[in-house]
Amino acid sequence: MNVLLIDDHALFRDALVLLFAHHLPELKLFEADGIAQAVEVAREHPDISLALLDLGLTESQGMASLTALHDALPELTVVVISADARRDTIVAAIDAGAAGFVPKQVRGTVLADALRVVLDGGVYLPAEALAADVPGTADTAVLDALSPRQVQVLQLLLQGKSNKLIGRALDLSESTVKTHLLAIFRRLEVNNRTQAVLAAAKLGLRMPH
């Protein structure tokens, strides 16, 4: 799999290159120093399917960078990496369509493990985002209660895909996607997309590929 790292600190990018070579040699890492360059690289290499995005870019701060990336490359799954690991920031990133969040303060091995979780069909969030007050069921067998189509919809939801993109991928109308999402929310005992992602991460759900 090809992965795109978007960070404007060259030393951090160099460290990630070494980390990937040592812990994730099966992944090929491409680099960009901002959103504009990321779009160019992704269009030159359409087989890039995952991006690691720093929220502290000089050209575009915070959630604006995530929104800009999603607008330009809506098919791309994005995992946020950030020095700002406050719970509000983590939840805002998930709400904006991130498929995971990794604080920059973690050790390299934790980042490698986090990426494995995402690549294995799960959602990685730091412990501070998974406090006891996160809504949702405690039943880890929740996937067994979903239909095959609902599992597909949930898989794409956890990748940060919009209803429109989920419908396009599964050849469904947006109204049908909404119907499936409502059923998924009931099974997970949540009220919206962000809560569903948090609940899935707390349960440690892994979606079939």
Domain boundaries, the chain: 2-129, 142-203
Q: What is the pLDDT of residue 132?
A: 58
Query: Which has the closest alpha carbon to 55: 17, 19, 84?
Result: 84
pLDDT at 209: 65
For domain 142-203, give its CATH number from 1.10.540.10, 1.10.10.10, 2.60.120.260, 3.40.50.150.
Answer: 1.10.10.10
Q: Strand (E) positions, the chain?
A: 2-6, 28-32, 48-54, 77-82, 101-103
Could you give the CA distance from residue 30 to residue 20 in angstroms, rounded to a whole number? 11
First to last CA, the chain: 14
Rounded Cα distance, 162 and 46, in Å: 19
Q: Which residues have C-beta within 8 Å of that of residue 42, sequence separation ≥ 6?
A: 4, 48, 51, 73, 76
Residue 152 has a pLDDT of 94
Rounded Cα distance, 134 and 35, in Å: 32
Provide the pLDDT for residue 109: 83
- E strands within 85-190? 101-103
Element (DSSP H or E) covering residue 140: none
The tens-digit pLDDT sequence of the chain (209 residues) is 899 999 999 998 999 899 889 888 998 999 999 999 999 999 999 999 899 999 988 877 788 999 999 999 998 999 999 988 888 899 899 999 998 999 988 888 888 888 888 888 888 888 777 765 677 777 878 888 899 999 999 999 998 899 999 999 999 999 999 999 999 999 999 999 999 998 888 888 887 76
Residue whose token pair is 């109308």: 173
The predicted structure's pLDDT at residue 175? 95
**pTM strictly above 0.85:** yes
**pLDDT at position 107, please?**
83
Task: Please tell me the predicted confidence (pLDDT) of residue 118.
Answer: 84
pLDDT digits (tens, 9 = 90+) for 135-151: 777 787 888 889 999 99
Q: Between the CA of residue 36 and those of 6, 26, 54, 199, what are the distances in Å?
A: 10, 27, 14, 33
CATH 3.40.50.2300 describes domain 2-129: yes
